[in-house]
């Protein structure tokens, strides 16, 4: 809902529990008024009457109060917008008009030839913000064009939560006190990156279930930056957008425009748990395609067979996968071109003739005959120098003239900003998806940008933005042409996870780390912002082959992976009959609890910090608890799990134990898990009776 004050200079957006208000001064300064608990229009108007503080000449009264700080004039904060023409640098805008409709507010400003529109859209309690810049004058260089600046209310001490990581160790949660100055996170790698999820949360005194939490998440799959600044008067602002440096995003000629990605903000007073549940609901309702449809249990061949694959061997795996209840069989890397190792073949998206002499169709048909869907792995934005594509088009990659072409994993990045490259990839992938009945594509991206040059292009800098736009356009075009095909976003695990890619893929590969214990922490961090509905998790072999050799029971591995979109990634040909039978039971159990896991409300009962940890999902009258014990010390009793989200007056039956409890007892005294020793795990299903 958008409300406008009588003077047409104060705007109020409201969701079910929160409001957001801005005010335009007589000097056309756009000031932030309110973000937090729901208020009325008279409240917003009263806030707008408060005068700006009177500062000495060394501080600016605008700093920390503007909705979209520009460069120039009385401002010392990091500008959200920094532009220059041949003539001058900076912006001095005048207000033109506002428009409303569809829960969206557009505020239009102009500075000479440059039109600047700030967009606000309320999606439940999430405020989506973005900016469009349209140039109708001489060339304008966009040095920086952030999506939004968020302003927090005054509190005694802010605390920052972030999700940091690296390859195989993504999305680990840390919280730290904010101090004066700036904290900057981001990626200068050309993709979202494993190092930070583009999300921050700020709170003053929240707990998992109580207190105010502000969160901001960016929807962009290229380089990005979020800066959290505590200004000299202790006010806090969060600015974020595409690109890491301010060295130039794009040049806009007359008639050209740029739309920033969406930077979404959420206020919640339900603690970290409440904020996560609101983020999850928002993504399921407005971001993730077909989120009301549950994702199937998949098998992925990567850890089982790596590059050494053949049709016969994949058929054997498929038969075993089908027998344990798998619904989607995915052939990972190694099926195409000369791809028998990571040294060759990337770029040549036709089946390897030695491995699949009649193409992929016979295997796909076999998989379908076994009652499963069929999926494949691709990495379209990359090329091995040892490939037919690179031999034919060595200039199709990103490179700087006269410089070395840096290889990572023996591969180079294609320059997707080029239209010929875009068209080639479309043709290859469209042909591939038309050549065999493919239901699922795992889309990988296995290295960062390094030599992002584009010889011959007058404005090579645009490659960073245009690559992402071309990637999105390619996905959109493929989805439109092949509506039955689901897509997974992967980038060496979780290197490309953000709201932008999530709006055009069906799930994401959370991490290459499939160790079930490490995964608990990775999943704990991931769940701060993203829902289990997109969080792919595989059960792989024990000892763990990829990372650490850790031994764990099938039970522990399954219960860990059942917290997301369950997959199996072990070498099933090596599993014993007993293991296969046990796996079949776990898969069957997962299918039963799947609607709760994928579409329910998540409560993190205890974080994975060494002892007992647990999550609970609640949907309607049903609930399921997944609990893990990392290590029991000194034989001490394992604490009972106090549940959440239940009706205290209702009675619940536990399917596992047959015991009947009143809700109030589960909420106040908890459920005894019976877990003991090391790496133990269990599942409890509760149903209201
Ligand atoms: C990346 C992915 C893995 C696998 C390999 C294949 O590392 O994250 O899951 O697909 O590539 O080369």
Condensed to tens digits (0 to 9), the pLDDT of residues 96-125 reads 999 998 889 999 999 999 999 999 999 999
Fold of 606-688: Immunoglobulin-like (2.60.40)
Atom of ligand 1 nearest to the CA of 442: 10
| Contact by Cβ (8 Å): 643, 615 | no
Report how far ligand 1's centroid is from the alpha carbon of 444 (Å).
Answer: 7
Q: 424-445: per-residue pLDDT in tens?
A: 999 999 999 999 999 999 999 9
Tally of CA atoms within 13 A in the half-sphere of 540 that contains its CB: 28
332 CB near ligand 1 (under 6 Å) = yes
What is the b/e burial string over 509-524, where b = at least 16 CB atoms within 10 angstroms of the residue's CB? Answer: bbbbbbbbbbbbbbbb
Q: Does the pLDDT at position 404 exceed 90? A: yes
User: What contacts 24+ positions apart, CB below 8 Å, involve 554-558?
Assistant: 554/579, 554/582, 554/583, 554/586, 555/582, 555/586, 555/680, 555/681, 555/682, 556/516, 556/517, 556/628, 556/679, 556/680, 556/681, 557/516, 558/583, 558/586, 558/590, 558/681
Q: How confident is the model at residue 536 (pLDDT cuts 50, 70, 90)?
A: very high
What class is the 300-318+327-527 domain? alpha beta
Instruction: Please give the torsion angle defined by the CA atoms of residues 420, 421, 427 and 432, in that order, rounded to the nearest 10 degrees.
Output: 170
User: Which residue is closest in CA terms to ligand 1's atom 7?
Assistant: 492
379 CB near ligand 1 (under 6 Å) = no
296 CB near ligand 1 (under 6 Å) = no
**What per-residue confidence (pLDDT) applies to 362?**
97
Q: Is 621 labeled as catalytic in the residue annotation?
A: no
Most ligand 1 atoms within 8 A of CB, residue of 168, 193, 332, 489 to mutate: 332
**What per-residue confidence (pLDDT) applies to 60?**
93
Distances (CA, A) of 620 to 378, 488, 600: 39, 29, 8
Q: How far apart are CA 538 and CA 550, in angstroms?
A: 15
When pLDDT is averaged across residues 199-203 and rounded to a whole number, the result is 98
Q: How far apart are CA 608 and CA 629, in angstroms?
A: 9
Report how far ligand 1's centroid is from the alpha carbon of 514 (Å).
Answer: 12
**What per-residue confidence (pLDDT) applies to 247?**
79
Q: Is 420 labeled as catalytic in the residue annotation?
A: no
Q: How confident is the model at residue 55 (pLDDT cuts 50, 70, 90)?
A: confident
What is the architecture of the domain spanning 62-287? Distorted Sandwich (2.70)
Determine which helix (DSSP H) or strand (DSSP E) holds 148, and give its type and residue range: strand 148-151
Q: How confident is the model at residue 350 (pLDDT cuts 50, 70, 90)?
A: very high
Distances (CA, A) of 160 to 115, 228, 607: 34, 9, 18
What is the b/e burial string over 253-269, where b = at least 16 CB atoms within 10 angstroms of the residue's CB? Answer: eeeeebebbbbbbbbbe
509 CB near ligand 1 (under 6 Å) = yes
When pLDDT is averaged across residues 674-688 and rounded to a whole number, the result is 97
Most ligand 1 atoms within 8 A of CB, residue of 300, 339, 377 to mutate: 377
Q: Does the pLDDT at position 54 exceed 90? A: no
Taking CA 628 as the corner, what is the angle to CA 626 and CA 629, rounded to the nearest 5 degrees? 155
Tally of CA atoms within 13 A in the half-sphere of 578 that contains its CB: 3
Q: 542-599: per-residue pLDDT in tens?
A: 999 988 999 999 999 999 999 999 999 999 999 999 999 999 999 999 999 999 999 9
Contacts of 218 (CB under 8 A, 6+ apart): 147, 198, 199, 224, 226, 240, 241, 261, 262, 263, 264, 498, 499, 500
DSSP state of 408: B
When pLDDT is averaged across residues 58-66 and rounded to a whole number, the result is 94
Most ligand 1 atoms within 8 A of CB, residue of 299, 339, 490, 491 to mutate: 490
Distances (CA, A) of 183 to 169, 214, 226, 300, 508: 21, 16, 8, 39, 28
Report how far ligand 1's centroid is from the alpha carbon of 442 (Å).
Answer: 9
Report how far ligand 1's centroid is from the alpha carbon of 274 (Å).
Answer: 34
**What per-residue confidence (pLDDT) applies to 237?**
98
> Which of 111, 512, 518, 680 is labelled catalytic?
512
**What per-residue confidence (pLDDT) applies to 131?**
98
Domain chopping of the chain, boundaries: 62-287, 300-318+327-527, 606-688
Q: 145-177: per-residue pLDDT in tens?
A: 999 999 999 999 999 999 999 999 999 999 999
**What per-residue confidence (pLDDT) applies to 546?**
87
What's the whole-number average pLDDT of the chain?
Answer: 97
Q: How confident is the model at residue 218 (pLDDT cuts 50, 70, 90)?
A: very high
DSSP letters of 266-284? EEESBHHHHHHHHHHHHII
User: Which residue is closest in CA terms to ligand 1's atom 12?
Assistant: 333
Most ligand 1 atoms within 8 A of CB, residue of 492, 493, 569 to mutate: 492
When pLDDT is averaged across residues 51-66 and rounded to a whole number, the result is 89
Report how far ligand 1's centroid is from the alpha carbon of 275 (Å).
Answer: 32
Instruction: Name the β-bridge partners of 121.
Output: 104, 128
Contacts of 211 (CB under 8 A, 6+ apart): 203, 204, 205, 269, 271
**What per-residue confidence (pLDDT) applies to 217?**
98
User: Which residue is closest in CA terms to ligand 1's atom 3?
Assistant: 492
When pLDDT is averaged across residues 664-670 and rounded to a whole number, the result is 98
Q: 619-637: per-residue pLDDT in tens?
A: 999 999 999 999 999 989 9
Residue of 183, 257, 256, 193 lying closest to 220 (CA atoms): 193
Atom of ligand 1 nearest to the CA of 492: 8
């Amino acid at each position: 809902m958008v409300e406008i004050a009588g003077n047409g200079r104060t705007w109020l957006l409201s969701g079910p529990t929160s409001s957001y208000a801005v005010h335009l001064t007589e000097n056309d300064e756009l000031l932030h008024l309110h973000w937090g608990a729901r208020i009325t229009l008279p409240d917003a108007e009263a806030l707008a009457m408060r005068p700006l503080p009177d500062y000495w000449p060394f501080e600016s009264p605008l700093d920390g109060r503007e909705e979209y700080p520009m460069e120039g004039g009385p401002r010392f904060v990091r500008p959200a917008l920094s532009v220059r023409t041949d003539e001058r640098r900076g912006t001095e805008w005048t207000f033109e008009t506002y428009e409303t409709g569809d829960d969206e507010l557009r505020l239009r400003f102009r500075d000479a030839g440059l039109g600047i529109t700030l967009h606000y859209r309320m999606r439940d309690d999430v405020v989506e913000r973005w900016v469009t810049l349209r140039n109708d004058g001489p060339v304008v260089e966009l040095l920086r064009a952030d999506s939004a600046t968020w302003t927090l209310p005054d509190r005694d001490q802010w605390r920052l939560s972030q999700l940091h990581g690296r390859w195989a160790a993504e999305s680990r949660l840390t919280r730290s006190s904010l101090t004066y100055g700036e904290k900057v996170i981001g990626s200068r790698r050309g993709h979202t990156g494993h190092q930070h999820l583009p999300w921050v949360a700020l709170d003053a005194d929240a707990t998992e279930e109580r207190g105010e939490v502000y969160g901001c998440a960016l929807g962009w799959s290229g380089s990005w930056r979020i800066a959290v600044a505590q200004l000299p008067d202790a006010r806090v602002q969060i600015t974020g957008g595409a690109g890491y440096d301010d060295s130039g995003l794009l040049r806009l000629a007359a008639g050209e425009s740029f739309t920033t990605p969406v930077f979404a903000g959420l206020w919640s007073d339900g603690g970290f748990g409440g904020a996560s549940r609101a983020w999850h609901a928002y993504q399921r309702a407005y971001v993730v395609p077909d989120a009301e449809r549950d994702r199937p249990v998949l098998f992925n061949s990567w850890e089982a067979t790596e590059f050494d694959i053949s049709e016969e061997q994949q058929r054997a795996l498929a038969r075993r996968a089908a027998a344990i209840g798998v619904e989607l069989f995915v052939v990972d890397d190694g099926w195409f071109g000369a791809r028998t190792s990571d040294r060759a073949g990337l770029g040549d998206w036709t089946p390897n003739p030695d491995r699949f002499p009649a193409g992929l169709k016979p295997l796909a048909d076999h998989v379908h005959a076994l009652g499963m869907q069929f999926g494949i792995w691709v990495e379209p934005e990359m090329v091995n120098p040892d490939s037919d594509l690179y031999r034919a088009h060595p200039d199709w990659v990103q490179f700087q003239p006269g410089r070395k072409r840096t290889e990572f994993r023996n591969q180079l990045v294609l320059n997707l900003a080029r239209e010929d490259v875009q068209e080639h990839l479309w043709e290859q992938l469209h042909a591939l998806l038309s050549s065999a009945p493919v239901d699922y594509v795992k889309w990988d991206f296995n290295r960062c940008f390094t030599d992002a040059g584009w010889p011959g292009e007058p404005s090579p800098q645009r490659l960073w933005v245009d690559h992402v736009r071309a990637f999105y356009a390619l996905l959109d075009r493929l989805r439109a042409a092949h509506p039955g095909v689901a897509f997974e976003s992967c980038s060496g695990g979780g290197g490309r996870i953000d709201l932008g890619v999530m709006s055009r893929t069906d799930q994401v590969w959370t991490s290459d780390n499939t160790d079930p214990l490490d995964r608990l922490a990775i999943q704990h961090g991931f769940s701060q912002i993203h829902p289990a509905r997109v969080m792919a998790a595989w059960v792989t072999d024990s000892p763990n082959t990829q990372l650490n050799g850790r031994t764990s029971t099938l039970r522990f591995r399954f219960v860990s992976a059942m917290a997301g979109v369950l997959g199996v990634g072990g070498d099933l040909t090596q599993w014993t009959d007993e293991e296969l039978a046990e796996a079949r039971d776990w898969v069957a159990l997962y299918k039963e609890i799947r609607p709760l896991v994928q579409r329910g409300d998540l409560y993190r009962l205890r974080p994975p910090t060494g002892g007992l940890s647990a999550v609970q999902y609640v949907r309607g009258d049903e609930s399921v608890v997944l609990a893990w014990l990392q290590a029991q010390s000194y034989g001490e009793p394992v604490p009972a799990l106090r549940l959440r989200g239940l009706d205290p007056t209702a009675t619940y039956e536990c399917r596992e134990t047959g015991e009947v409890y009143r809700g109030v007892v589960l909420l106040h005294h908890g459920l005894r898990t019976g877990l003991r020793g090391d790496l133990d795990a269990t599942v409890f299903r509760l149903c209201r009776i």
